[in-house]
Amino acid sequence: MRIPNTFGFDVKAALYAEYDSVEELEKMIAEGRITSPFLHMGCGSNLLFVKDYDGIVLHSRIGGMEVTAEDDEQVCVRVGAGVIWDDFVAYCVERGWYGAENLSLIPGETGASAVQNIGAYGVEVKDLILSVETVNIRGEKRIYQKDECEYAYRKSLFKKPEMKSVFVTYVNFILGKKECYTLDYGTIRQELAKHPAVNLATLRQVIIDIRNSKLPDPKVLGNAGSFFMNPIVPRALFERLLHQYPSMPHYEVDADRVKIPAGWMIDQCGWKGKALGPAAVHDKQALVLVNLGGATGKDVVALSDAVRASVKEKFGVEIWPEVNFIE
């Protein structure tokens, strides 16, 4: 069975199994139908299959968005892991609930959002998460409160290898009912100024427009969004680099550490728009690796290795893939 993935690789799994409810997942487990090796995936928008997967690929189709509590200020919503993330954002925006709008149009499902701690335009999904409901491979249910999820930049407890057998079934979110926006990131304010009023709908539209102008559409050019994480470097190394490259963009993290955009470093190494066989660095956004057509996972890994080696040689900085490699 072909595995869906936004790189557009032609990869297959020995078995691709879907379930519609927690009960159905529990039944599959109880009947011993989930044997090793297995992989739980969402839409495959952050996965790089290096080859065919010789095991069971699991996928949740658990749907539903249900209000579980609300008052004049806030609302709590329980969302099925299989709900498309952007459908949930649209649902919140339509109802005048604040918090998710900057995360508009991020591909993938709600379950994966909590695994990945997705983020964009100054907001991370952890800012909205209350708890994450799970079932493990032994059929045991557990709800992880947000402070147990070890959230950090594109990281969570659920990304750890030992959590591979923990499946997210529902995510509980909290949204605000009082007007509150995050606007100080990138060109949001500039673009908003073109609209007569600032409201949730215009902000969502602005985010969608910015994203569409910058990121390639996976249906046209296979990709998995930002391929690399932005490295966070010790301040001493940052000072040395800034002396050498005075125009280097950067974001303060804390007193000891500074974040440098990986895309800028890749661009400085001359990779923007360059191809290595059928895989290439996108010509508008150096952080994105694309499948020009017919590429395999191995082609993209070769490109990734070459890009990482260049950045290490020029800047002395290691950059790490954000994309999950599946061997």
Ligand X SMILES: Cc1cc2nc3c(=O)[nH]c(=O)nc-3n(C[C@H](O)[C@H](O)[C@H](O)COP(=O)(O)OP(=O)(O)OC[C@H]3O[C@@H](n4cnc5c(N)ncnc54)[C@H](O)[C@@H]3O)c2cc1C
Is 247 a catalytic site residue?
A: no
Q: How many binding residues for ligand X (CB under 6 A)?
A: 33
Give φ, ψ of 162 to 5 degrees: -70, -10
Q: Is 204 in the site for ligand X (CB under 6 A)?
A: no
Element (H, E) at 49: strand 47-49
295 touches 5 (CB < 8 A)? no
Measured from the CB atom, is 119 or 297 closer to ligand X? 119
Q: Which of 79, 224, 303, 311 binds ligand X (CB under 6 A)?
A: 224
- Residue 75 or 115: the one with the smaller Cβ distance to ligand X is 115
Residue 12 burial (10 A CB sphere; 0-12, 13-18, 19+): middle
Q: Which is nearer to ligand X, 120 or 241 (CB)?
A: 120
**Is there a catalytic annotation at residue 308?**
no
Mapping DSSP to helix (H, G, I), strand (E, B) and coil, where does residue 53 land?
A: strand
Q: Which of 102, 113, 156, 285 binds ligand X (CB under 6 A)?
A: 113
CA atoms of 168 and 79, how far apart (whole Å) = 11
What Å distances lie between residue 100 and 145, 180, 242, 271, CA to CA? Answer: 19, 11, 34, 33
Give me the least distance between CB of 325 and ligand X, in Å please: 10
* Closer CB to ligand X, 77 or 118, in the complex: 118
Take residue 146 and report the two structure tokens written for it.
């947000």
Of residues 241-300, which lie at the interface with ligand X (CB under 6 A)? none
Which spans of this chain sit near ligand X (rule: CB under 6 A)? Answer: 6, 39-47, 60, 81, 106-109, 111-113, 115-116, 118-120, 158, 167-168, 215, 218, 223-225, 324
- Which residues are catalytic, by number? 154, 226, 322
